[in-house]
Chain A
């Protein structure tokens, strides 16, 4: 990475509640976020130089669902805009790179999804190899079960660790109580699996002198990277996440202490794997928001991690933090962003 990166800051964030089933259109979720961001920053829609969103057609079963979402994103007068068929965290990555180019100073980043309409286990099975896995209906929960078993067999974690991770996300429970529940996809229990929900996350990124002209406390993104691993589970060590390690290194995660980390733990065993890959110890507060197990707005879940970290830093609760997002079965693809408070 070039050492001369242009400083880029998150200046405003917005999250909708995570709905079990949102009755309105996804575009309305997005519009709510974008309007809040404009109000917070005092920016007019046409002042934003670059816009990028992440969402997924298959989630709601509609081709070109992002075209409808554009009505919430805002595109009149015409905007310089793009869309990734990925979690909004990857949209943030492209926006962050785009601001490095120097000619654009402000970016709007959105992630949104309405997962409630479909049966996500069947929908997400279509992510897997179309010849050998998708015909088996290989769903992400079952594959997470394989990963959890591998973790238990390796001695790197116990079922009590899974329960402890889930208990932190679910107030009013204890790990001991959770361990009494029946298995659902052994060795996973229902509470080990984040329930898919409907929601949106959005933020505004600003570079250069514009940062100081806007209200609020900027939170700087000092590094970002993402990497992918083999899709073939037999070729991977399911108990480790080398792609997360590489992304963390690329994002400069180890250049200082990490006060807070928001990890995209969609299945509780993933926390053990991610903590190890990121080298986090007890000095880091992990998923103070509860993480995805407490709220999983599919396609916005990763971007929401960035928002949660930025908010804690802006509030002065932490100085430096890490946000993680993931995509694909068994943590196949991982993104890391490092955020820091105002200098």
Chain B
């Protein structure tokens, strides 16, 4: 596992989304069969493929579903015993993945065999499909078991419309240490200091540092860290009207601003502004950070890449009352 020896726990990200797949008629026909408790193959020439394909796999030319009922019994043509299942596997106890050639089909189908122990698995063994009681028309509505465990008809389900949609929820968790320059930057924020990096070649200060100066192709380390001011000038902004999507928590419009901090050459971006009305917000406006009390600062929204997350450490940005900065000079910082 990744380790962070610098005082910050590793960063965790979960990519989670319920994808909805439209099936088209051929895969839809197969999944409708599964929902109804039977295995359908598709005849293409001399072959019967299960699952069926909407094309001839040799030529790519179209093939309509010529459905043939196959199974529920079949023979294992190859298998492996999965001792440590992943969270995405159909079982959380050891099981076999196998190529099963359903009776009446001419080729194997990858699926899980719940056999209890590897000693019960062998190439050529007979297996039979086991259907769940509740089925929605996905490939996980059934699995295989050794035939000696008994052939059971699929529990009946309420018939319904043909399946045209199948869901694939995915959930992937990523754990990684914060990059070293990021650790220093984040530890600085916890202490109320904004840290950038000064390029040893150009002298320009990048905030936050990236661990390198990409313009000069130079790696940068701790010795290049510099503290910059917590006050600066709005170099760019957008008013965001949140669109709805999975995981979106925002509902009301708000401002996302870029601020060129005094003493730096690249603006910080993705700064949430919620206390200054849009009508008063403008490029050139001078702002001062108002930090959250040290005990309330939270860097959890910062990852290794994005620059958003400032609202976890800074309560709000207040206009300083100084005259606006020259907007033309800010043109090159419109990020």
Is A bound to B? yes
Q: Is the interface of B mostly helix, strand, loop or mixed?
A: mixed
CA distance in complex: A213, B1 (Å) = 46
Residue of A nearest to B88 (CB): A137
CA distance in complex: A117, B4 (Å) = 13
On whether the beta carbons of B86 and A139 are closer than 8 Å, the reply is: yes
Report if A24-B88 is in contact (Cβ < 8 Å); known contacts: A131-B23, A234-B108: no
Question: In chain B between 266 and 325, which residues have their CB closer than 8 angstroms to a CB of chain A?
Answer: 304-305
Q: Is A122 an interface residue (CB 8 A)?
A: yes
Question: In chain A between 118 and 140, which residues have their CB closer than 8 angstroms to a CB of chain B?
Answer: 118-119, 121-123, 125-126, 130-139
Q: Is A187 an interface residue (CB 8 A)?
A: yes
Q: Is B151 an interface residue (CB 8 A)?
A: no
Question: In chain B between 70 and 84, which residues have their CB closer than 8 angstroms to a CB of chain A?
Answer: 77-84
Q: Is B246 an interface residue (CB 8 A)?
A: no
Most buried by A among B80, B90, B112, B166: B80
Q: Is A342 an interface residue (CB 8 A)?
A: no
A32 CB contacts on chain B under 8 angstroms: 219
Report if A31-B212 is in contact (Cβ < 8 Å); known contacts: A133-B110, A139-B86, A234-B99: yes
Q: Is B200 an interface residue (CB 8 A)?
A: no
Total interface residues on B, CB under 8 Å, equals 65
B107 CB contacts on chain A under 8 angstroms: 232, 234-235
On whether the beta carbons of B78 and A153 are closer than 8 Å, the reply is: yes
CA distance in complex: A28, B218 (Å) = 9
On whether the beta carbons of A117 and B89 are closer than 8 Å, the reply is: no
| Interface set of B (CB-CB < 8 Å, partner A) | 1-4, 13, 15, 19, 21, 23, 27, 31, 49, 51, 53, 57, 77-90, 97-99, 101, 107-112, 118, 123, 138-140, 166, 168, 170, 172-177, 179-181, 210-212, 214-215, 217, 219, 304-305
Task: Known pairs A60-B176, A116-B176, A234-B108; list 14 more (Cβ under 8 Å).
Answer: A21-B1, A23-B179, A31-B217, A58-B172, A60-B174, A76-B214, A126-B170, A132-B109, A133-B139, A135-B139, A137-B90, A185-B80, A186-B83, A234-B49
Complex A-B, nearest 4 residue pairs according to Cβ-Cβ distance, in ascending order:
A145-B80, A137-B88, A234-B108, A234-B107
